[in-house]
Amino acid sequence: MKLNLGIDAGGTYTDAVVVKSPDDTIIASYKALTTYPDPLEGIREALDGIDQEILSQVDVVSVSTTLSTNTILEGTGFPVGLILVGDYFTRSDLPTEHFAQVKGGHDHKGFEAEQLDENAVKEFARRAKENVSAFAVSSYFSIRNPEHELRVKEIIRKITGMPVVCAHELSQDLGAFERAVTAFFNAQLLPITEKFMSSVESEIRGRGMESKIFMLKCDGSVIGIKGALERPIESIFSGPAGSLVGASFLSKKDSCAVIDVGGTSTDVSVIRNDVPEMSDSGAVVGGWKTRVKAIRMETSALGGDSDIWIASGKLNFGPRRVIPLCRAAAQFPKFLEQIATNPMPSKALLGRNFQPTKFYIRTEYEPLELTDLETEILNAISPEPTSLKEIRSRINKYPASKHLDTLMQKRLIQPISFTPTDALHVLGEYTEYNAEASRIGAKHLAPLYKMEADEFASHVKREFAKNMAADLVSFFLEKISREEIRNIFDAESPIQFKVHVPVVLIGGPVVAYLEEMKELIDAEIILPEFANVGNAAGALAAKGIRRVEILIRPASMAAPEWEFYVYSEKGRENFYEYEDAVEHAISIGKDTIYEYMKEADLDPDSVKIDIKKDEVLLEGHDTIVETRIVVMGVAEHIEEDE
């Protein structure tokens, strides 16, 4: 018998699940609150909730985390020096103030366009080394010839001794600027990921576990510690990837659509024949487009912890994530009395930041670059729930909504408010925390919507389910706006959308929305056992997936049939026959997959290999200008001990 441990450090909860192979039976699971800014304490608590005797028998650990995504979104990564090689257009809003553009680069044939200005590289390295912790380099057409990137890497390492990330090491796609952004964020995440993975490994080893450790990638596969430390950028959006693979695993459906309801967002994705559907373009995070391969997903800023507020008689969801009233009351003993006596703001003040259920707490983040007024408001908010009335009494006026927004954006304060989770507590369908606080909150808000408290909670739940259904339909109908689709669900009509693949629900209290979803969507709606820890199960099930991409291009377009370059994870190789290049590319893909499966304690003989070959022809000719080969390996069974 082999035991495997999956861990998912999500935005709200950190889940741990233990699966027995080869029959894929879940024998233990536990949920803990995610801890900020360091998620390790939440992971430790989740592991404490599992029988330690069971943990001692675990062979493989797979981890999914929001650490990379949150670091980029919050702008809390380490400073990086960025070098752009070549005379190409660059946007003015680069992700770092420490950058240099130097002469060099290649053309689309791989020939040197201009000699590399090594002196400029040396000068920048000496100037920036005191202000950065790593470097990234992107050279024009490095996907055709990485020579200049490798030379820059050699120079900087010699001068600074710091890590250097080359763009061609992370992507073989066109787009020099996007490759630069990818390399930059990868370099930024190196020390953070190293600390996180070393802490996780230390925690695992400290419990007497000699398990192999993997990290989930955003394409639905996993990577070992060495690879995770070299390419941390590939772990962005690993949460949705985990939920997708986990949903397929838990439901025993090799093809299905997935709705993952988290605390912060709702994600929709699809898996077909055990293979996640991939996005045609690179992942976009924090407004920056990268060249990272990720699953295709539809994300809305609507989760169980979304802020619910009323203004001008209209019910609004989010987009901000808040602490639910029920959870705040469980954490702060005096909060129940505070919310019961909280006054109703005047109609002139009523808005997103001014509600009878709105409170604020100060976080542990250090304040930076605040105005005097913002500092005054921040000092009026304590680590305990603070009402708007209390803030007013301390600064002699109500704070401006824009100043509260600034403090929230800088993560200096966090709001507490009524949420969909509170609505479920009122209805008695989810009672993890203090339901009385939720009921008081509903009584405060319901009159603003001309309803009774229970009626208001039911309405919130119904509207949330409609949003879930709209997210699902919007995923499949890409050319129709989500707003148009959402309006259809408000219309009184016998029309119902039909979805021809099973729809699996994943996330905390999704069981509460099962019946509503069945009414709204004509499909096989599945709520699998252990749906509340689906992401952690996915982090583990994903170790049976490995995707390898190889590119073949003519060495020269002047003689496109004389020599071919093969670009892969192993570097660049050349062949004089196209058929030999294709055969070698497929061989590389298969060998990489088999090596990976063996490292992951999976039986290579049980791996199903799928090969896709796309050829791009010169317009009006039969000349091949690019061949992209994707080799996908899916392990059907985990190897069983004798």
- The full DSSP string for 311-372 is ETTEEEEEEEE-EEHHHHHHH-TTHHHHHHTPPPPPTTT-BTTB-TT-EEEE-SPPP-S--H
Assign 531 to helix, strand or coil: helix
Residues of the chain with CATH 3.30.420.40: 2-73+192-252+535-541
Class of domain 2-73+192-252+535-541: alpha beta
> What's the average pLDDT block by block, 10 residues per block, for the chain (642 residues)?
86 87 84 82 93 90 83 77 81 78 84 91 94 92 86 95 90 81 90 87 90 85 81 82 88 92 85 84 76 83 87 85 93 92 81 90 83 92 92 91 87 92 95 94 92 95 94 90 91 87 90 93 93 84 80 74 81 87 94 83 81 83 84 65 32
**Cα atoms found within 13 Å of the Cα of residue 621, Cβ hemisphere only:** 8
- Any idea what the Cα angle at residue 376 is, between residues 374 and 377, rounded to 5°? 65
**Cα atoms found within 13 Å of the Cα of residue 309, Cβ hemisphere only:** 24
For residue 22, is the peptide bond before it cis, meaning its omega torsion is within 30 degrees of 0?
yes
Q: What is the pLDDT of residue 377?
A: 93
Q: What is the pLDDT of residue 636?
A: 66
CA dist 235 → 262, 295, 524, 621 (Å): 18, 12, 31, 40
Could you tell me if 290 and 39 are in contact, meaning their C-beta atoms sit under 8 angstroms apart? no
> How far from each other are the two terminal CA atoms of the chain, in whole angstroms?
9
Q: What is the pLDDT of residue 642?
A: 29
Residues of the chain with CATH 3.40.50: 77-189
Number of residues in the chain: 642
Assign 194 to helix, strand or coil: helix
> Sign (positive/negative) of CA torsion 94, 98, 101, 107?
negative
Compute the distance between CA of residue 388 and CA of residue 391 in angstroms, rounded to an integer: 5
Q: What is the pLDDT of residue 535?
A: 83
Could you tell me if 360 and 414 are in contact, meaning their C-beta atoms sit under 8 angstroms apart? yes
| DSSP run (H or E) holding 19 | strand 13-21
Beta strands (DSSP E) in 198-313 are 212-216, 222-224, 256-261, 266-272, 275-276, 284-285, 288-289, 297-300, 306-311
Residue type, 142: S
Nearest to 407 by CA among 374, 431, 434, 435: 374
**Architecture of the domain defined by 77-189:** 3-Layer(aba) Sandwich (3.40)
- Any idea what the Cα angle at residue 305 is, between residues 256 and 393, rounded to 5°? 170
As to burial, measured by CB atoms within 10 angstroms (0-12 exposed, 13-18 middle, 19+ buried), residue 490 is exposed
Instruction: Provide the H-helix boundaries in 21-146.
Output: 40-48, 52-55, 67-74, 118-128
Residue 108 carries which DSSP code? Answer: T
CA dist 432 → 161, 267, 287, 625 (Å): 51, 23, 35, 59
pTM over 0.85: no
Q: What is the pLDDT of residue 74?
A: 65
Q: What is the pLDDT of residue 222?
A: 79
Could you tell me if 19 and 35 are in contact, meaning their C-beta atoms sit under 8 angstroms apart? no
Nearest to 342 by CA among 443, 212, 470: 443
Instruction: Provide the H-helix boundaries in 344-476.
Output: 372-379, 388-395, 401-409, 420-426, 435-445, 453-476
